[in-house]
Amino acid sequence: MAAFLAHMPTYYFCKICLPLTSFIPTPACNNTDFIFSLTDSPVTLKILQSWTPRVSHYFDKEHYTYVGHQIVIQESIEHFGAVVWPGALALSQYLESNQEQFNLKDKKVLEIGAGTGLVSIVACILGAYVTATDLPEVLENLSYNISKNTQNMNIHKPEVRKLVWGEGLNEDFPLSTYHYDFILASDVVYHHAALEPLLATMVYFCKPGTVLLWANKFRFTADYEFLEKLGNIFNTMILAEFPESDVKLLKVTVREN
């Protein structure tokens, strides 16, 4: 518990500019080199400028330290995908503490429901080729956080892409091209109408040799029902539990015939 609480944010409230849909490139900030794609196409676009907000709003900024690096995450209460949830803290801590068991260096990693990007940033620091995905309305804040926290690091440059669970998977991520060593997911079980598309997405990406690491706060009966459905398809194992936040972290792999 102490290790988990050590990563809880140093919290403060500051005025910066926003909204999530109002980020624009600024020529004065010319030090970012990351991959970003807002389209359904697998073609990606190099962004060589930082994103800065242009409409005045209030944002929270939270500070974390993982793998010896300070990470600053911009949040907004305007969208659930722009908030750091307990599962992201648990998964980030676990990746940091279990690098020998789950070595991400030079591995291809996909995060689904990346939200603020905290977990993807930690995976980048650990040396992975990271693709962070989420809904279109979340991507600008996600991209902003990832670019700000990785721009000066000697790491594989992350990619940010749109992924709507259960939609356009074959077109946007054809299996002939895309194979991931790790799938990362945290607090993705929250909107129960989206659970079937989420399960279909997990099934699509989890192939032999892929490890899905999923951390979630279990709140409702439907959450446990989803876990049961997942267990009917995959091998599932609880790797860690975080009683202070009701988060469970699971390892999910394809069943061998």
Ordered domains of the chain (ranges, CATH): 2-7+33-48+78-254 (3.40.50.150)
Residue written as tokens 């600008």?
140
What pLDDT score does 70 carry? 95
- SS3 state of residue 2: helix
DSSP-derived secondary structure letter, 81: G
pTM, whole model, 2 decimals?
0.78
Question: Exposed, middle or buried, 184 (CB in 10 Å: 0-12/13-18/19+)?
Answer: buried
Q: What angle do CA 156, 184, 190 make, to 5 degrees?
A: 140
User: HEC states along 43-60?
Assistant: CCEEECCCEEEEEEEEEE
Separation CA 11–CA 9 (nearest Å):
5
**139-194 pLDDT, tens per residue?**
999 999 999 999 988 899 999 999 999 999 999 999 999 999 999 999 999 877 89
What pLDDT score does 192 carry? 77
Spatial strand order in the sheet of 10-25 = 10-25, 51-66, 69-75
DSSP for 106-152, please give it: T-EEEEES-TTSHHHHHHHHTT-EEEEEE-GGGHHHHHHHHHHHHTT
What pLDDT score does 29 carry? 34
Which parts of the chain register pLDDT below 50?
Answer: 1-6, 8-58
Separation CA 187–CA 207 (nearest Å):
22
What pLDDT score does 193 carry? 86
- SS3 state of residue 4: helix
What pLDDT score does 22 carry? 34
DSSP-derived secondary structure letter, 98: T
Residue written as tokens 């073609």?
43
What pLDDT score does 53 carry? 38
Q: Pull the structure tokens for residue 92.
A: 């980030």
What pLDDT score does 59 carry? 62
